[in-house]
Amino acid sequence: MGVGKDFQSDLTGGAEPKRYIVSDKGLPDDFPTHAHRSEFWEELGRTVATLGFLEETLGKAIFSFTATREIPEDQTQAELEKWLPKLERALSDPLNGLLEAYGKAVRDNKAATISNLDSLLEGLRKAAVIRNVICHGSWRAPDEHGRSVPFFVDRKNKIFDTSIDVGYLRQLRRHVVELTCAVINTVTHMGWQFPGSSGPGNPIFQSQRGAQTPERHT
Give pLDDT tens digits for 86-136: 666 666 677 888 999 999 999 999 999 999 999 999 999 999 999 999 999
Which position has the higher pLDDT, 40 or 18?
Answer: 40
Residue 72 is assigned to a structural domain of this protein: yes
- Mean pLDDT taken over the chain: 84
Residue 23 is assigned to a structural domain of this protein: no
Which position has the higher pLDDT, 39 or 15?
Answer: 39
CA atoms of 113 and 8, how far apart (whole Å): 70
Query: Where residue 22 falls among pLDDT bands split at 50, 70, 90?
Result: confident
Q: Decide if pLDDT at 213 tops 60.
A: no
Range of the domain at 164: 36-214
Query: Where residue 23 falls among pLDDT bands split at 50, 70, 90?
Result: confident
User: What region does 196 belong to: left with phi over 0, alpha with psi -120 to 50, or beta?
Assistant: left
Residue 74 is assigned to a structural domain of this protein: yes
Residue 4 is assigned to a structural domain of this protein: no
> What is the average per-residue pLDDT within 45-53?
96
Three-state secondary structure readout of 91-111: HHCCHHHHHHHHHHHHHHCCC
Query: Where residue 72 falls among pLDDT bands split at 50, 70, 90?
Result: low
CB atoms within 10 A of CB 68: 22
* pLDDT value of residue 93: 72
Residue 25 is assigned to a structural domain of this protein: no
Count of domains observed in the chain: 1
Residue 145 is assigned to a structural domain of this protein: yes
* pLDDT value of residue 24: 85
Residue 161 is assigned to a structural domain of this protein: yes
pTM over 0.85: no
Residue 3 is assigned to a structural domain of this protein: no
Query: Where residue 212 falls among pLDDT bands split at 50, 70, 90?
Result: very low
* pLDDT value of residue 178: 98
Q: Decide if pLDDT at 19 tops 70.
A: yes
Per-residue CA distances from 195 to 64, 95, 127, 175, 211 (Å)? 7, 19, 23, 22, 16
Per-residue CA distances from 56 to 82, 92, 98, 118, 212 (Å)? 21, 10, 9, 20, 20
DSSP strand pairing (138-139 vs 150-151): antiparallel
Which position has the higher pLDDT, 133 or 18?
Answer: 133
Give pLDDT tens digits for 144-196: 999 999 999 998 999 999 999 999 999 999 999 999 999 999 999 999 999 98
Per-residue CA distances from 20 to 17, 23, 24, 26 (Å)? 10, 10, 13, 15
Which position has the higher pLDDT, 72 or 127?
Answer: 127
* pLDDT value of residue 1: 43
- Is-contact 176 47, C-beta < 8 A? yes
* pLDDT value of residue 17: 83
